[in-house]
């Protein structure tokens, strides 16, 4: 590239208009040459001030820029991002500086290659299709266990949504909603706060697998989901920002990786048999817990429900999970219902059963019919969690759409308002719908 030390290509000015050759390194020469020596550069034209003609607009005053500066302006010039005077000076310069002219052409062509990044939303279903086709061609030695696939899919869907939203949308208000003591409760946070919540609660699974706790290991963190969330929110002086996406996503990937390695473990069903505690032990040493495989399903469910909360807050469309995954989520809720009913009776939230039924014996049942994709039919034992629920002793029938049922179980619709077709024992139906709502938590 040419520089200030470059040789002048012309010894003599060839005439008015051609100036001092390519003008390279010409800075300040005018001021110093003065009138004592014969002018190397043609004298300027008569000043317009002396002619009586109107003055040109001040911005168009000639700019005197040297080669270095003009060259440095080439990018801005190609982008039309310099002043008019600078553009004129550059174009003038290009007329007699070959290297600059060449570069200018190159850079202007390069501008033609810039285009607005097309915000092409990847089809969320593509991930699954790509991965399935890969695994079909080369079966994995270490597969992701079936029960962790919904979590893999839901976290990927949420992450794709997060990738698309702008900085300000991370602060969009979100109201977390759930049922407590048969009443709706809510807690205000932001999009980033929701991701912090997911990070803190997924941490329960991480802990059960022996991974690091996102809440840190200094003090013993609370053992229940809302306690952990509040603790995580409190731990930082500033409210969470989009910076929380990285740690959340890293943990989700680490969980999937870890359960893949441990699921097929040497003993029986491997880590699928581990349990994940969701509370500290009570006075009798009992605590809320789920087998790891159900816990991963529960986390997938929560991920979807909160992704919907976020999507609603930032006005994005968001689809329900794939029918197969939705089915597993509904199945988990249906399996949790009998135990929840029994728990509610113990704590007085539901009336006592119609006489105890021995485990394995047949008792009264409610037929839960879930319509739509991912649906199916479940018989919920009403008298005892261990009872054999069968069609023979069906006393009630509830029919609900799958997504509606999930929203009920997430505490997003109330049991009274859930659009459910009902038939039979009203008390049993009420008990089951309230039990479904009470599955929800922050």
Quote the least distance from Cβ 5 to other proteins, whole Å.
Answer: 20
Q: Which is nearer to other proteins, 295 or 365 (CB)?
A: 295
Cβ–Cβ under 8 Å, residues 229 and 197: yes
Q: Which is nearer to other proteins, 241 or 260 (CB)?
A: 260
Label the pairing between strands 388-401 and 289-291. unpaired
Structure tokens at 201: 């609660």
Q: Which is nearer to other proteins, 120 or 220 (CB)?
A: 120
Quote the least distance from Cβ 328 to other proteins, whole Å.
Answer: 18
Give the dihedral sign, CA 34/35/36/38: positive
Q: Which helix (H) or strand (E) holds 382?
A: none
Quote the least distance from Cβ 259 to other proteins, whole Å.
Answer: 9
Q: Which is nearer to other proteins, 96 or 127 (CB)?
A: 127
Quote the least distance from Cβ 357 to other proteins, whole Å.
Answer: 43
The dihedrals phi and psi of 267, each to the nearest 5 degrees, come to -100, 115
Q: Which is nearer to other proteins, 10 or 261 (CB)?
A: 261
Quote the least distance from Cβ 310 to other proteins, whole Å.
Answer: 18
Q: In which region does residue 213 sit, left (phi positive, over 0), alpha (psi from -120 to 50) or beta (all else)?
A: beta
Q: What is the dihedral of CA 173, 167, 410, 371, to 10 degrees?
A: 120
Quote the least distance from Cβ 118 to other proteins, whole Å.
Answer: 7
Binding site for other proteins (CB under 8 A): 72-76, 78-79, 81-83, 103, 106-107, 109-111, 113-118, 120, 122-123, 126-127, 129-131, 133-135, 137-144, 152, 156, 159, 163, 249, 253, 256-257, 260
> Which DSSP string corresponds to 144-185?
PPGGGHHHHHHHHHHHHHHHHS-GGGGG-EEEEEEEETTEEE
Q: Which is nearer to other proteins, 138 or 286 (CB)?
A: 138
SS3 state of residue 290: strand
């Amino acid at each position: 590239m040419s520089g200030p030390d470059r040789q002048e290509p012309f010894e003599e000015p060839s005439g008015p208009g051609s100036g001092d050759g390519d003008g390279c390194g010409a800075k300040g020469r005018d001021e110093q040459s003065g009138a004592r020596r014969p002018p190397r550069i043609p004298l300027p034209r008569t000043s317009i001030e002396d002619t009586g003609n109107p003055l040109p607009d001040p911005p168009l005053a000639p700019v005197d820029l040297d080669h270095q500066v003009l060259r440095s302006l080439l990018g801005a010039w190609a982008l039309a991002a310099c002043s008019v005077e600078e553009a004129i000076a550059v174009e003038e310069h290009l007329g007699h500086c070959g290297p600059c002219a060449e570069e200018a052409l190159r850079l202007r062509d390069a501008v033609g290659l810039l285009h607005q990044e097309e915000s092409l939303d990847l089809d969320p279903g593509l991930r699954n299709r790509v991965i399935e086709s890969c695994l079909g061609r080369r079966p994995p030695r270490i597969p992701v266990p079936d029960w962790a696939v919904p979590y893999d899919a839901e976290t990927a869907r949420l992450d794709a949504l997060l990738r698309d939203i702008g900085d300000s949308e991370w602060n969009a208000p979100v109201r977390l909603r759930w049922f407590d003591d048969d009443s709706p409760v809510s807690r205000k946070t932001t999009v980033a706060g929701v991701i912090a919540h997911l990070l803190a609660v997924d941490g329960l699974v991480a802990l059960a697998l022996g991974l690091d706790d996102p809440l840190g290991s200094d003090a013993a963190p609370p053992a229940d989901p809302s306690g952990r969330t509040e603790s995580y929110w409190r731990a930082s002086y500033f409210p969470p920002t989009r910076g929380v996406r990285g740690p959340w996503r890293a943990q989700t990937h680490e969980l999937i990786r870890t359960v893949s390695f441990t699921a097929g473990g040497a003993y029986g069903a491997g880590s699928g048999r581990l349990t994940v505690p969701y509370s500290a032990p009570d006075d009798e040493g009992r605590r809320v817990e789920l087998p790891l495989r159900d816990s991963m399903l529960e986390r997938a469910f929560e991920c979807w429900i909160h992704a919907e909360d976020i999507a609603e807050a930032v006005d994005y469309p968001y689809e329900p999970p794939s029918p197969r995954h939705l089915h597993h989520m509904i199945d988990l809720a249906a399996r949790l219902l009998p135990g929840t009913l029994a728990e509610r009776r113990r704590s007085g939230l539901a009336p006592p059963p119609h006489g105890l039924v021995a485990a394995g014996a047949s008792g009264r049942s409610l037929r839960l019919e879930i319509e739509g994709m991912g649906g199916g039919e479940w018989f919920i034992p009403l008298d005892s969690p261990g009872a054999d629920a069968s069609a023979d002793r069906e006393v009630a029938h509830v029919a609900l759409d799958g997504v509606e049922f999930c929203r009920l179980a997430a505490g997003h619709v109330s049991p009274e308002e859930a659009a459910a077709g009902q038939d039979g024992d009203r008390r049993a139906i009420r008990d089951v719908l309230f039990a479904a709502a009470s599955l929800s938590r922050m």
